[in-house]
Structure 1
Amino acid sequence: MHRAVGLALLPLALSACDRPAPLPQGSVQRVELQGTGQRAAMAEPSPDTSRAGWTVSEDGQAIRFGNMGEPPFLTLACNVEAAPPEFVIIRHARAWPGQSALFPVLGNGMSSRFLVDAELSDGEWHWEGRLPADDPKLDVFSGTRDITATLPGRGMLEMGGGRITGEFLEWCRAGGRPEAVQGEASEESEDEG
């Protein structure tokens, strides 16, 4: 009989194990939750790129994508002094010190993801990634098809196809030297002879 009573009380004893032990008096602290609500999302809408295009910088070392007369959305630059030449991708969008992000770019039959960091230049915090110009991930810029580039929380850029990004990449990979044109070289030797 004692065994039957013990088995009958076993479920009651086990159910008591699920309850937390009572807290000692004075150890509970009340916290007001009014100002601790979820922060508003800080995502920005994608910029309207329907009128945007590429322009060459004054020094010829960069191309900029944006609306005419407005700050650019994206800059592709080349540091020809570096060995090997360095390709710089700048996404002009709000950034804070210490931030990093992956910047996916899709186009020309491939997709690449670039690590970009918050950088300060000319009083502007923007997103910047630097790679050797011969990095195969940069081939995403080499064709003539449309390109999309999405920075998380800062929207997607839609860039119409064209030759300028591919030509700029080739120029950067060549160290800023234009490639010799075969027809010009043979005409010069004929003129000398």
Structure 2
Amino acid sequence: MVRFQTASILALCVILSACGGDADTPEAAQRISLDTVRQPPSEPLPSPDSKDAGWTVSDNGQAISFGRTGEPMLSLVCNLKATPARLTVIRHVGTRPGQKALFPVIGNGTISRFKADAALHEGEWRWEAALEARDPLLDVFTGTHELEATLPGGGTLKMGGSRVPSEFVNWCRAGGRLQQVQAVEKAADALKTPPAGR
């Protein structure tokens, strides 16, 4: 009887020690984000159809947008009041506060990766990457070849070749003076050229 009780007690101790474990031994834990649990990941957006899209210049001349009328997909905005001038690359895709993304743009023999942040503008949450107009990353826009801008979860935006973004970036880098200088040079050339028939 005593042997049976002793064996039972020993077996019980072994079971309890296996269940309890050593208090000083760390257990492998898995960390999870409560935000991830509460908000299921949204479905990636398909690449936008840019077949009939093109570049337009804003009324004040300090921004250009690629897209259809009233539906911009990507914009470049020049801030001439900043010293030096700054240029903001905007991808018009919905986002949420605090989000960040690496936004690569490929074209004209260059690959530029812009650090974009979620920004609220006139009730619209969108992606923005602001930098000095002379930043070499913006060289991707200085050419006439097609561009591809890929936003994680927002698809790839394909833009046909155009001289508009190149001229705009160079204008912004020159502090908005480039157009004025060209206008003066054209006027001067017109004065130098004698009218036909003389």
Cα 1:151–1:23 shift into 2, 3 Å: same
Match of 1:73, SS state, is strand
Partner residue, 1:57: 58
Distance 2:39 2:77 in 1: 39
AA of the residue aligned to 1:52:
A
Distance 2:175 2:168 in 1: 11
Match of 2:19 among 18, 22, 26: 22
Distance 1:37 1:79 in 2: 39
Give the deviation of 1:22 after TM superposition.
1.7
Question: Alpha-carbon deviations, 1:34-84, whole Å to 9, x = none?
Answer: xx699354311111111111111111110011123x421111010011111
Distance 1:38 1:179 in 2: 52
Q: Relative to structure 2, which stretch is displaced further, 175-184 or 134-143? A: 175-184
Partner residue, 1:28: none
Partner residue, 1:157: 157
Match of 2:140, SS state, is helix
Question: Superposition pairs for residues 2-151 of structure 1, below 5 Å?
Answer: 21-23=18-20, 39=40, 41-68=42-69, 70-151=70-151
Distance 1:37 1:83 in 2: 43
Distance 1:39 1:141 in 2: 36
Q: TM-score when scaled to structure 2? A: 0.74
AA of the residue aligned to 1:174:
A
Structure 1 unpaired stretches of 5+ = 1-19, 25-35
Distance 1:40 1:174 in 2: 43
Distance 1:48 1:133 in 2: 29
Cα 1:183–1:93 shift into 2, 3 Å: closer
1:184 aligns with 2:181: no
Question: Alpha-carbon deviations, 1:73-129, whole Å to 9, x = none?
Answer: 111010011111101111110111111111100000010000111111101110111
Question: Percent identity over the alignment?
Answer: 51
Distance 1:171 1:77 in 2: 11
AA of the residue aligned to 1:45:
P
Question: Alpha-carbon deviations, 1:106-162, whole Å to 9, x = none?
Answer: 000010000111111101110111111111110000000000000100111000001
Distance 1:149 1:143 in 2: 15
Match of 1:144, SS state, is coil
Cα 1:38–1:21 shift into 2, 3 Å: farther
